[in-house]
A and B are shown apart, each in its own frame.
Chain A
Amino acid sequence: MVDKRLIDQLRQIVGNENVLTSKISLETYAFDASPYSGRPSVVVFPTTTEMVVAIVNIANEKNIPLMPRGAGSCLSGGAVAPDGSIVISLTKMNNILEIDPLSKIALVEPGITNKQVQLAVESYGLMYAPDPASQNISTIGGNIAENAGGIRGVKYGSTKDHIIGLEVVLPTGDVITTGNIHSHVEPELDLTYYFCGSEGTLGIVTKAWLALSPINAEVKTMTAIFGSLENAGSCVADIIAQGVVPTTMEIMDNIVIKAVDDYLKLGLPRDAEALLLLEVDGFSSDVKTQVNSIINAFATNHALSYKIAGNEQERQDLWKARRSVNGALGKLKPANIVHDIVVPRDRLAIMLEKVAQLAKKYGIIIGQVAHAGDGNLHPTLYYDHRIPEEVEIIEEACDEIIKETIAQGGTISGEHGIGIEKLKYMPLAFNKPTLHLMKKIKDAFDPKNICNPGKLLPQITED
């Protein structure tokens, strides 16, 4: 039963128009892009830091869980509203407060989308380097909470590499400003980077100072096809070892190539075992040098053929296949699970091969796309969710993929996060003292455990 007094208090803080309580609204805000859902009791849309503080204070007083939320595009359940929670949607705190082109810094509110930031800084010849596939809808606050990666991640890194400071409302209602935004000469412990990837469990980001990068003069896109996944994988390792750092290196396997070709009729090489898509950027002389090195690596690793985009249209054509993967694969079976695992880059070829073997072993379809340049694989497992035996097999195959990932020196999530989905794998990835220490630190930030409880850290038994 919803507490009427609570709703009244919240309405006083943010205004009637910024409080949702109807059944349909609550259902809309119950879930994210994962299969999980919860039962929030109210959704609020604060527009200032002070409002966020007032909401957090009430939650504290009444011991109500909080769910800070951006666009809700999280794939691992990180933004699923806990039962009885107040969902704090930050989407109305979406202003750009300052763009400082000389220091290359933008100060923004958390509800602005990644894309809006890109558009705003473009006219200064600058970009915000992290560009997750969800950038049209996902917010900066969400990107920080999940430490979002992006297509350009091989060269530019992920969100945490481009954040220089934060304003955060802590679960206790205190407001802190982190970061060495203007100075780096006094010894200080900077908490900025501990918030990145903390999945909304340590506080609510209300402002962020973003580091901007110059847009590079030239971009070159190329694709190559290979007779084996192994050759494509070693080609990636070779390119990295030669000192070339492409912005992007994406691999698709034969299942994906065929599915995309069926879907779009692009005339892709249907018998190719692997397709590699690469992009390099820089000054035009930089690009020339890098393209030459990459062509050498193609030859050494027995690429069957390659293409270089001559103009923007050709570039978009090369990208079209990669962008259509999700749509194309949706046609194969009624349901699928996209995995998110990451291995050292020297193990990429082996890992691709191992996943292909698992598909054979279990007699299932696994399509493989990978952000090869950073060792991040997204094997997609296809099944019919209406057939219990298929569901069981898929679960078993997923567990085995995770075990293999850890055996290869990798880790359980590259960019989607732990959320709810991967809680069960945490004890495989971390020893008990480490999980205990993480819990103690969480307690320091959030003594009442009201900030997005039930995510990221599994229940651990006290010794």
Chain B
Amino acid sequence: MGNEEFLRSLREEVDNIATAINPSDLGINLEHNYNPQLILAPNNISEIVTIMKLANKYGVSVYPIGSGSKFVKGICPFDEGVLVSLKNINKVVEYRPDNMSVEVESGLSINELQGMLAKDNIFFPIDTSNDLQTIGGIIATDAFGRKKYMYKTTRFYVMGMEFVSPQGEIIKVGGRTIKNVSSYDVHQLLAGSWGALGIITKATLRVKPIPEKGLVLQYVVKNGNELLRIIDSILFKEKLSLASLTFEQLDSSFLIKVELEGFAETLKLQQDLLEKNHGFKESNTNYADINNTQGIISLPLKSYLKGLEKLLELTKPETGIKIKGNATSGLLSFDINASREILQNLSDSINSLQGTLIFENLSLTQKNRGNAYNLLLRDIKNKIDPKHILVPASKVVRSRL
């Protein structure tokens, strides 16, 4: 309801706001069952405030969006409401290299941020696979990259934030200092909220000096047993400046890559050791994409080898299984021709290892978070967004249970 009135009032209050009917007009690709009635690309933060206030007044749903690369993962299909693109909200607000901090608007892409920082030999440690992702998007999804083992996830680099609340207030929390215990870390609630608690407009990020050296080594093992042995050794036994340990299946053999980051002299010693002990050689080939597969398994590190063993047991001509993995992130991914029984069996095993199995976007394992947790999220949502204006189709925060 209220869409026309909403747009008319918006036009009265805002002079020159870009609108579109089709997400692709703004360079966003969404699946066909995501159908906003209108798309807006505000030019500044006060326009977002106006949008939220009017959306509350007329009962119009609002969906903030960055590059759109993760949108469908956290939000159910919908066919109403307004999509608000942050692409024009993309300035660098305050860059303080001597404090290792940078404040940016949320529509800035990770690519542009890294480009600016690199001039001062500084980087933002989240190595997302998609350069176009926006800062707002990676915070809202608490994104992490291949080197999660070394750098963890985005939330740990957010020191301060400005966001527009679901009721259209500008909220400023945190700050630009490394240490800060001045009241609640509301920005930690927004990080990983998938847009449901506020529209992130600015973030102050902690950045780091680029390590003196980065190095990728590779080695091909002939079979699964060898793979298990090498992962065990590198992940759990050797003392390394380990950024990532990944592998991919090539027919019956496996290509393993070890990524090291740190001081040059130390890395030289570790390189020599890995060459001597296992036969690793320096690599300059690209990384396999571990995201676009049918199945994804996430495991606690201590059960990683057991989970991998289970997958390897499925290596038979009829399954045609192809396995890839990021051991340091506890991830396994695979494509398979599998029967329902095989998948059931696999999900039982992964469950018993306290892991998660997602197959063709459906979770096949049980998560026993309990109802109290979801009720609390609902209560938070209802307090700050009583009319359920912001991302009502969220998969993460359900306003009605």
| Chain A interface residues (CB < 8 Å from chain B) | 100, 102-105, 146-147, 149, 153-154, 157-158, 160-161, 170, 174-178, 181-191, 193-194, 196-198, 214, 217, 237, 240-243, 245, 282-283, 285-286, 288-290, 342-347, 371, 374-376, 409-418, 422, 426, 429-431, 433-434, 436-438, 440-445, 447, 456-457
Given the interface pairs A289-B212, A344-B176, the reply to whether A157 lies near B98 with Cβ below 8 Å is no
B68 at the interface (CB under 8 A from A): no
Residue among A187, A189, A343 having the largest count of chain B Cβ atoms under 10 Å = A189
Q: How many A-B residue pairs have CB under 8 A?
A: 250
Could you jot down 15 A-B contacts, CB within 8 Å? A103-B300, A184-B329, A188-B396, A189-B377, A190-B142, A194-B185, A245-B209, A286-B266, A342-B178, A376-B178, A418-B182, A426-B182, A429-B183, A434-B186, A437-B384
Known: A174-B375, A286-B266. 6 other contacts (CB 8 A): A185-B298, A186-B363, A189-B194, A189-B377, A289-B264, A415-B179
| Chain B, range 382-401, C-beta contacts under 8 Å to A | 382-384, 395-397
Is B179's CB under 8 angstroms from A170's CB?
no
Which residues of A sit under 8 angstroms from B331, Cβ to Cβ?
185
A413 and B185 alpha carbons, distance in the complex (Å): 13
Chain A nearest CB from B270 CB (Å) reads 8
Given the interface pairs A186-B363, A440-B384, A444-B376, the reply to whether A100 lies near B178 with Cβ below 8 Å is no
A105 and B301 alpha carbons, distance in the complex (Å): 10
Chain A nearest CB from B242 CB (Å) reads 10
Is A146's CB under 8 angstroms from B181's CB?
yes
Is A186's CB under 8 angstroms from B358's CB?
yes
Sort A-B residue pairs by CB-CB distance and give the 8 closest, nearest first.
A243-B209, A346-B98, A433-B169, A193-B188, A174-B372, A102-B302, A183-B356, A183-B298
Is A241's CB under 8 angstroms from B97's CB?
yes
| Chain B, range 312-357, C-beta contacts under 8 Å to A | 329-331, 354-356
Choose one: A158, A240, A243, A444; the contact of B210 (CB below 8 Å).
A243
Is B298's CB under 8 angstroms from A182's CB?
yes
Which residues of A sit under 8 angstroms from B61, Cβ to Cβ?
none
Given the interface pairs A178-B373, A197-B181, the reply to whether A440 lies near B383 with Cβ below 8 Å is yes
Is A147's CB under 8 angstroms from B181's CB?
yes
Is A241's CB under 8 angstroms from B74's CB?
no
Is B266's CB under 8 angstroms from A189's CB?
no
Is A187's CB under 8 angstroms from B396's CB?
yes
Is B177's CB under 8 angstroms from A429's CB?
no
Would you give the 0/1 interface string for B194-234, flagging 1 where the beta carbon is closer than 8 Å to chain A?
10100000000000111110000000000000000000000
Is A177's CB under 8 angstroms from B373's CB?
yes
B37 at the interface (CB under 8 A from A): no
A149 and B181 alpha carbons, distance in the complex (Å): 10
Is A411's CB under 8 angstroms from B165's CB?
no
Which residues of A sit under 8 angstroms from B119, Cβ to Cβ?
none
Which residues of B sit under 8 angstroms from A410, Cβ to Cβ?
175, 177
Is A286's CB under 8 angstroms from B73's CB?
no
B184 at the interface (CB under 8 A from A): yes
Chain A nearest CB from B140 CB (Å) reads 10
Choose one: A153, A177, A214; the contact of B370 (CB below 8 Å).
A177
B57 at the interface (CB under 8 A from A): no
Given the interface pairs A433-B171, A440-B383, A444-B380, the reply to whether A409 lies near B176 with Cβ below 8 Å is yes
Would you give the 0/1 interface string for B46-78, flagging 1 where the beta carbon is closer than 8 Å to chain A?
000000000000000000000000000110000
Which residues of A sit under 8 angstroms from B182, Cβ to Cβ?
411-413, 418, 422, 426, 429
Is A417's CB under 8 angstroms from B236's CB?
no
Is A426's CB under 8 angstroms from B183's CB?
yes
B180 at the interface (CB under 8 A from A): yes
A319 and B369 alpha carbons, distance in the complex (Å): 46
Which residues of A sit under 8 angstroms from B191, Cβ to Cβ?
193
B26 at the interface (CB under 8 A from A): no
A414 and B179 alpha carbons, distance in the complex (Å): 5
Residue among A177, A184, A242, A343 having the largest count of chain B Cβ atoms under 10 Å = A184
The closest CB in chain A to the CB of B174 belongs to A411
A445 and B265 alpha carbons, distance in the complex (Å): 51
A343 and B186 alpha carbons, distance in the complex (Å): 20
Which residues of A sit under 8 angstroms from B264, Cβ to Cβ?
289
The closest CB in chain A to the CB of B170 belongs to A433
Which residues of B sit under 8 angstroms from A190, Cβ to Cβ?
142, 192
Is A183's CB under 8 angstroms from B355's CB?
yes
Which residues of B sit under 8 angstroms from A181, Cβ to Cβ?
300
Is A187's CB under 8 angstroms from B177's CB?
no
Is A217's CB under 8 angstroms from B239's CB?
yes
B127 at the interface (CB under 8 A from A): no
Is A376's CB under 8 angstroms from B179's CB?
yes
Chain A nearest CB from B191 CB (Å) reads 8
Given the interface pairs A188-B396, A441-B380, the reply to whether A342 lies near B177 with Cβ below 8 Å is yes
The closest CB in chain A to the CB of B378 belongs to A444
Given the interface pairs A197-B181, A430-B173, the reply to whether A285 lies near B266 with Cβ below 8 Å is yes
B106 at the interface (CB under 8 A from A): no
A170 and B376 alpha carbons, distance in the complex (Å): 9
The closest CB in chain A to the CB of B160 belongs to A411
B9 at the interface (CB under 8 A from A): no
Is B99's CB under 8 angstroms from A345's CB?
yes
Choose one: A185, A197, A214; the contact of B184 (CB below 8 Å).
A197
Chain B nearest CB from A151 CB (Å) reads 12
Which residues of A sit under 8 angstroms from B369, Cβ to Cβ?
176-177, 188
Which residues of A sit under 8 angstroms from B144, Cβ to Cβ?
184
Chain B nearest CB from A447 CB (Å) reads 8
Choose one: B299, B302, B380; the contact of A100 (CB below 8 Å).
B302
| Chain B, range 273-302, C-beta contacts under 8 Å to A | 296, 298-302
Is B184's CB under 8 angstroms from A456's CB?
yes
B193 at the interface (CB under 8 A from A): yes
A343 and B372 alpha carbons, distance in the complex (Å): 39
